[in-house]
Structure 1
Amino acid sequence: MFWVLASLILPLWSLMVRYRFTRESRLPQTGPFILAPNHYSEIDPVAMGAAVWHLGRLPRFMAKASLFKVPVLGWLLRSSGQIPVERAGASRGGNNPMGDAGGLIQREACVIVYPEGTLTRDPDLWPMRGKSGAVRLALETGIPLIPVAHWGTQELMPRYAKRIHPFPRKTIRVSVGEPLDLSRFRTGPIDQRVVTEATEVLMQAITALLVELRGEQAPPERWDPSKHQQSETGRF
């Protein structure tokens, strides 16, 4: 099913988008790993999925479980091997996204996890405070965690936009970092303090890659939704 979807989507996507990868950008061609990108547009998953495809691997995503309940879309997600994730406290049915991801890891898959969990709320589209999913998965499974940044998707589909702007053709630049060294976080129990510290290391790595792509300095303080308390309705 994934190959079928790719054959339908990628030719059209290539008419709208060209990729520019930094010379250092590469992915492991064998074995499992977790790819952790920045997130600022609703179309980012397509952009990142196509980028991973161009770099020689098949992408798998951890997506909101509610999407799997949508007719047709849910079937496509399941058939193409994507991973449903329940929001905290939303499921009592024993759904275990870590276990589901573990199955893909055993099959040596590339699992894409957005560490911010949602679109960044930073006004200038810099990465905001990360959530624990990507790091916890890496610490509990022991597989490589690779930061990645991309820039240019907002020209195709701005944040919170309802439609894309396919023409003229857009350029998306991508920079893939080295796998993070998380060995110092594995010396004891994987508690909340350890996960929080490791998540900040990940977000710093993603931000550093984005700084290079944008040619700008990131803000000195990372956007923290819990401090700013911006409601969804407050934007309109």
Structure 2
Amino acid sequence: MILKLLSYPRSILATILLPIHTAFCSLLMIIATLLLNNRPLEDQIVYYWTRVICWMFGVKVQVVGLENRPKGGFIYVFNHSSFFDIFAMAAYLGSFRFGAKIELFKIPVFGWAMRRAGILPIAREKREEVFRVYKEAETRIKAGERFALSPEGTRQDNDKVLAPFKAGPFVFAINAHAPLVPVVVKGAADVMPKGHFVPNWGRWTSTITLHVLPAVDSESFTTADRPKFQEAVRRLMEPYFL
């Protein structure tokens, strides 16, 4: 009971500090990318930003199946129900870059840092623009970079049901000849549900579990049978939503 009562002022204080911490890390990213071309350093800034956020709100992250990641470039696909999906994955799944809705790139400092870091700007209402971004990113995957995309397209109300998949991430993987690595995120919606603005309200600690599932090779599929590719990935993820 005492810890629950203490969680309220803790969450409020952490929420106030969050934009300050984010602005500081964004400035670090901008400076690092302007002065140096050092991906490991940029990754360390991402880890610092996201792990401190988890610590501030009392969020623990458990990763299961990290050994399922293939070597080289690939694309994570994950169920999306909370901003804390992003923080947990970026903190503990190694070097990769998200695809983020293009509106976030308009935020001063933070948006500039996202562009400098190589985050993919996704204009969800402009299909051709999205596929142009994916096309440009194909060379980055071939060079060994990794990305993370939500096939559901947007945040869901909870992590109990897997929403229908959009075609984009699967076409991207097929054209880039990149494996897809499904990630099932559990517990993030409890930390910060869609429509809520103060994480871990009434909870002193919470745990987010990231289930990294076996990779699905895109080489067996063409854009014509892309629905079969989607179904193969979905079959791996669905048992976690029964």
If the TM-score is normalised by the length of the shorter chain, which range does it land in?
0.7 to 0.9
Paired residues, number: 199
Please give the alpha-carbon distance, in whole angstroms, between the structure 2 residues aligned to 1:108 and 1:118: 26
More helix by share: 2
Residues 120-139 of structure 1: pairs in structure 2 closer than 5 A: 120=156, 125-139=160-174
- Alignment deviations for residues 93-113 of structure 1 (CA, whole Å, 9 cap, x no partner): x98211232132133112001
Partner of 1:32: 73
Q: Is the 8 A contact 2:159 2:187 kept in 1?
A: no
- Alignment deviations for residues 102-148 of structure 1 (CA, whole Å, 9 cap, x no partner): 13213311200111111235x66311110011111111111111111
Residues 53-72 of structure 1: pairs in structure 2 closer than 5 A: 57-72=94-109
Please give the alpha-carbon distance, in whole angstroms, between the structure 1 residues aligned to 2:150 and 2:205: 26
CA root-mean-square deviation? 2.5
Q: State, as a whole percentage, how many aligned pairs show the same letter.
A: 25
Partner of 2:59: 17
The answer to whether structure 1 residue 42 and structure 2 residue 83 are counterparts is yes
Q: Is the 8 A contact 1:41 1:160 kept in 2?
A: no
Question: Where in structure 2 are there 5+ consecutive unaligned residues?
Answer: 1-28, 30-41
Q: Is the 8 A contact 1:36 1:115 kept in 2?
A: yes
Q: What SS class does the counterpart of residue 96 from structure 1 fall into?
A: helix
Partner of 2:19: none
Question: Where in structure 1 are there 5+ consecutive unaligned residues?
Answer: 212-217, 219-236
**Among 216, 219, 230, the residue aligned to 1:199:** 230
Q: Which amino acid aligns with 1:116?
A: E
- Alignment deviations for residues 193-228 of structure 1 (CA, whole Å, 9 cap, x no partner): x222322322222222x24xxxxxx2xxxxxxxxxx
The answer to whether structure 1 residue 87 and structure 2 residue 120 are counterparts is no
Partner of 1:6: 47
- Alignment deviations for residues 33-91 of structure 1 (CA, whole Å, 9 cap, x no partner): 10011111133211221131xxxx21201111222122222101112211112224377
Q: Which amino acid aligns with 2:118?
A: G
Please give the alpha-carbon distance, in whole angstroms, between the structure 2 residues aligned to 1:83 and 1:179: 22
Q: Is the 8 A contact 1:39 1:119 kept in 2?
A: yes
The TM-score normalised by the length of structure 1 is 0.74
Q: Is the 8 A contact 2:77 2:180 kept in 1?
A: yes
Name which of structure 1's ranges 103-112 and 82-91 shifts more when overlaid on structure 2. Answer: 82-91
